[in-house]
Amino acid sequence: MKTRLLLSTLALFFAVGVLALSLIEVQAVYAGNKTTTERKQLYFGKDILPDNLMYPALMAIDRIQLETAPNSERIFLEMEYANRRLGYAQQLLNDNKESLALTTALKAENYLQNAVHDAQVLQAPSSVTQRLSKTLLYHIQQLKELSPKFTDSNRSEIDKIIEQDQIVQHSL
């Protein structure tokens, strides 16, 4: 009975994932924002990057984990997601997918800023703010290394992220 319930639940999650992927792809086609360089692929490897068809399912799982996490864990999850997406941005840039690398870096920044906001709202202990400060420093260093690899227009976006992170890092 338990096995049947578990398998039914997994099948339901899979079906929802396929439906979500389909809706996302249809929306992107209707919005006209798909270019040939941003075409998603299905591949199996160590990491599921934003150019993978299964990436929206991973994002949905991350979102569910984030929404169901207790407040004390939420900040750490946001930092983890920020770090992961920064790594994805680096890999995408290495694969000459600059626009996707930029949007992924911006998503990493959003997660990091959400972690800072949550830490302030929850009046997190100093150990959490210290870890957050170290994470911000790490992002600043990594983005400074990545910045020269972007074209001029995208580099200005990366430089804005670095500036914003420096301001927030000094305020912690």
Per-residue pLDDT of the chain (172 residues; tens, 9 = 90+): 767 766 677 667 776 666 665 656 555 544 444 443 456 665 566 677 888 788 888 888 999 999 999 988 999 999 999 999 999 999 999 999 999 999 999 999 999 999 999 999 999 999 999 999 999 999 999 999 999 999 998 999 999 999 999 999 888 8
Buried b (16+ CB within 10 A) or exposed e, 152-162: eebeebbeebb
**pLDDT in the model for residue 6:** 64
Residues 105 and 86 sit within 8 Å (Cβ to Cβ): yes
Q: Which pTM value belongs to this model?
A: 0.74
> Distance between CA 105 and CA 98 in Å, rounded?
10
**Paired strand residues for 41:** 52
**pLDDT in the model for residue 30:** 42
Other CB atoms within a 10 A radius of the CB of residue 28 amount to: 13
* CA-based nearest residue to 25, from 46, 4, 5, 55: 55
> What single-letter DSSP state applies at residue 48?
-
> Distance between CA 130 and CA 137 in Å, rounded?
11
Query: Identity (one letter) of the amino acid at 135?
Result: T
What distance separates the 2 farthest-apart alpha carbons in the chain?
59
Residues 111 and 78 sit within 8 Å (Cβ to Cβ): yes
